[in-house]
Amino acid sequence: MRSEAVLALLGDLDEGELGGWIARGWVRPETGEAGWEFTAIDVARVRLIHDLRRQMDVAEDTLPLVLSLLDQVYDLRVRLRDVLSAVECQPPEVRALLGAALERVQHD
């Protein structure tokens, strides 16, 4: 998706502000002959930053910390999904042992 289409999605976002987000590394679209090209992930990130700034009034100097924490949460979710997939591939007796171990850890 080209930058014009991204800007059209968010009526109060201008090219200068979007360019600032890109310059700070908050969004990393591909740069092509026709300008920036945004993937679906890039557009989602732009929407997130827009919401954080406009709706949640997160200060610009605080935004890098918030984005870093959200990135860490996302990465953790991906890793947990991988662990769950690995556990689901195990025989029933191994899954039962893991379940019992989790029960013990939760009650400690």
Domain with 106 in it: 60-108
| DSSP-derived secondary structure for 19-51 | HHHHHTTSS--EEETTEEE--HHHHHHHHHHHH
One domain for residues 3 and 35 = yes
Q: What is the value of pTM for the model shown?
A: 0.79
One domain for residues 10 and 45 = yes
Neighbouring-strand partners of residue 37: 2, 30
Number of domains in the chain: 2
One domain for residues 88 and 107 = yes
One domain for residues 42 and 71 = no
pLDDT by residue for the chain (108 residues), tens only, comes to 999 999 999 989 999 999 999 999 999 999 988 889 999 999 999 999 999 999 999 999 999 999 999 999 999 999 999 999 999 999 999 999 999 999 999 887
One domain for residues 47 and 80 = no
